[in-house]
């Protein structure tokens, strides 16, 4: 069973920063894209960013491109650096696996992590 694990969530003041991490087995990340999604209460699950299996290509939601940055290391970890956080960014953040880094649709992602909560106070 593939187990993607998010970490790094927490509570921050508006304007603060957090870095989320997504880890999985080396085999899981091999030749797969990883995406980040978020879901706030009462809202649809929203695409945040994705990265290709090599890390050569990235894709961002237009509204987040300036504040959020996705990256991956040489092995097992994908990161989401979040800066200048706003109360509207509060959500559960999920990482997930897809065959294509260009995908922004949640249904095109297979394995999902358990999510990590981000809370932003004004």
Q: Are the CB atoms for 119 and 35 separated by under 8 Å?
A: no
Nearest-Å Rg of the Cα atoms of the chain is 13
pLDDT of residue 24: 78
pLDDT of residue 76: 77
pLDDT of residue 29: 53
pLDDT tens digits, residue range 6-32?
A: 999 999 999 999 999 999 775 655 578
Alpha helices, H only, the chain: 26-29
Mean pLDDT of 32-51: 96
Averaged pLDDT of the chain: 92
pLDDT tens digits, residue range 76-104?
A: 799 999 999 999 999 999 999 998 999 99
Asked whether residue 1 carries a pLDDT value surpassing 60, the answer given is no
């Amino acid at each position: 069973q593939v187990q993607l694990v998010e970490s790094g969530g927490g509570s921050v003041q508006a304007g603060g920063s957090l870095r989320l991490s997504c880890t999985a087995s080396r085999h899981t990340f091999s030749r797969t894209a990883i995406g980040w999604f978020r879901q706030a209460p009462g809202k649809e699950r929203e695409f945040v960013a994705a990265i290709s299996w090599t890390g050569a290509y990235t894709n961002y939601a237009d509204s987040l491109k300036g504040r959020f940055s996705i990256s991956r290391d040489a092995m097992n970890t994908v990161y989401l650096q979040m800066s200048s956080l706003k109360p509207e960014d509060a959500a559960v953040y999920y990482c997930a696996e897809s065959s294509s880094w260009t995908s922004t649709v949640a249904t095109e992602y297979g394995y999902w992590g358990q999510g990590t909560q981000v809370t932003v106070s004004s």
